[in-house]
Amino acid sequence: MTTKATAFTQEASTPERFPEFPPRDDMQNTNHLHLRSVLTSLTIHFTHRPNTLIHSEMPVSPTLGMQHGVRIPDLMVVFDCDMEDAYRIDGYAIDRQGKPPDFVLEVASKTTGVVDYTAKRGDYERFGIGEYWRFDATGGDYHDAALAADRLVEGAYQPVEIELTSSGVLRGYSDALGLQVRWDDGKLRFYDPESQSYLLTHDEADAARLQAEAEVRRLRERLNLLGEID
């Protein structure tokens, strides 16, 4: 995979950080990323990889000085980056980092759906972003598909194969993350082929913890009972 070489002109006066952008005016990110703890589950999964930036709605641009061409992905993953610089300037400047993001994903909404698979796709390709994924909980009312993705191949985006399983789950493999991205009953899920399991949501992690604690209690009760019998 190669990155498209594109020249970007930096403004004469470079600001110290990205400007503040108005918050998104719908609940799509809250519903599908934050409440379902997607960022947390990815952070836990990649905890063994230092300098991994996993963020929602962080501005990304070829250079900090650009007044136009800034995009704000709903989800962005970057490996081997300067996280301190990104937080210091409130955004991800590709020229400062020396590499584009590895993975971005947009969650469909009524107001931004068409832009996601048209203009944003062109910009992310131009930025050299390795993979661009799109998720539409409605099944395709706002995007051109319920789940779609592109991978940068020799400087141009090529579609990632999306498979429909017999249980109605849409899935595609992310080379960047080493995970499957899934549309499962209108929910965005990440699946680890190595462990053959989903990355857990908050609720699932809590349920697993409670089950483990219950098993420990049952074991202790059994040991105590055996001790009394002896």
pLDDT for 213 equals: 56
Structural domain spans, the chain: 28-199, 200-230
pLDDT for 3 equals: 47
DSSP track, 166-198: TTS-EEEEETTTTEEEEEETTEEEEEETTTTEE
In whole angstroms, give the CA distance from residue 100 to residue 121: 14
pLDDT tens digits, 156-178: 999 999 999 999 999 999 999 99
Side-chain-facing half-sphere of 86: CA atoms under 13 Å? 27
Higher pLDDT among residues 118 and 22, named by residue: 118
pLDDT for 114 equals: 96
pLDDT tens digits, 124-156: 999 999 999 999 999 999 999 999 999 999 999
Beta strands in 25-102 (DSSP E): 53-55, 60-61, 75-78, 92-93
One of 1.10.10, 3.90.105, 3.90.1570, 3.10.450 is the CATH number of 28-199, namely 3.90.1570
The structure's pTM equals 0.82
Nearest alpha-carbon partner for 116 in 132, 100, 94, 98 = 132
C-beta atoms surrounding 82 within 10 Å: 17
pLDDT for 85 equals: 96
Q: Which residues contact 126 (CB under 8 A, 6 or more apart)?
A: 4, 6
pLDDT-derived band at 13 (thresholds 50, 70, 90) equals low
pLDDT tens digits, 46-93: 999 999 999 999 999 999 977 678 999 999 999 999 999 999 999 999
pLDDT tens digits, 45-57: 999 999 999 999 9
